[in-house]
Amino acid sequence: MDSQRDRILDNAQGLIRRFGGAKTNVVDIAQAMGLSHSAIYRHFRSKAEIFDSLAARAMAEETALAQTYASADAPAGERILGLMLALHRSKREKFAGDTEMHALYRRIVEDRPDLVRDYAARITAILRAILGDGVARGEFAIADLDAAAGVLRDAFTAFVHPAHVELAAKAGLDLEPGLIQMARVLLRGLSA
């Protein structure tokens, strides 16, 4: 991404945090940057595209976070649990400290399923790689790595999905103990 696009996204994110997505528009972003709105349109076709790009950037950051567990030198089960906890904590912090941006991510879930599918595919591929490494190390006995990675992804989606994180936070629920227990049960089932 070029630096001007990044600056536009950073400014848009600041305005969304301050005023909310509904009250932030391209003209506001341009004024905050000292630009004309046509300068913004050279990089983004619409407000929706800016918002989509913000969500895609957040998903890329989470994918990079998850990737650190794929390349870590630790038992595969520990890496999978660490990945799940890191993504859960990331989503929880985003909701608690950044409710306006979290609302933007909720919109993406509804309006841009293609972005969500791409993100899920990247996370699934990372889980598959860790599971494959676990099989190679003799930690897991898995006949179908794709199916196992999909099951793990689906199981921990309840702990990272924006709507679930939001509901748990509003109810004052700590989902982390349940996430740890769920991961341990699943990983035990995959053990060699």
- Note down pLDDT in tens along the chain; length 192 residues: 468 999 999 999 999 988 888 899 999 999 999 999 899 999 999 999 999 999 899 899 999 999 999 999 999 999 999 999 999 998 888 777 677 777 777 788 788 899 999 999 999 999 999 999 999 999 999 999 999 999 999 999 989 888 888 888 888 899 999 999 999 999 999 997
Contacts of 104 (CB under 8 A, 6+ apart): 16, 21, 51, 54, 55
Contacts of 171 (CB under 8 A, 6+ apart): none
Match 């890329």 to its residue by tokens: 60
Q: Where are the domains of the chain?
A: 1-45, 52-190
pLDDT of residue 157: 92
Closest CA relative to residue 95, chosen from 105, 84, 81: 105
Most distant pair of Cα atoms in the chain: their distance: 61
pLDDT of residue 103: 77
Question: What pTM, to 2 d.p., does this model score?
Answer: 0.88
Tokens of 35: 């630009």
Question: Which backbone phi and psi does 160 adopt, to 5 degrees?
Answer: -125, -10
SS3 25: coil
For domain 52-190, give the CATH number.
Answer: 1.10.357
pLDDT of residue 97: 67
pLDDT of residue 85: 97
For domain 1-45, give the CATH number.
Answer: 1.10.10.60
CA distance 53 to 129: 27
pLDDT of residue 105: 77
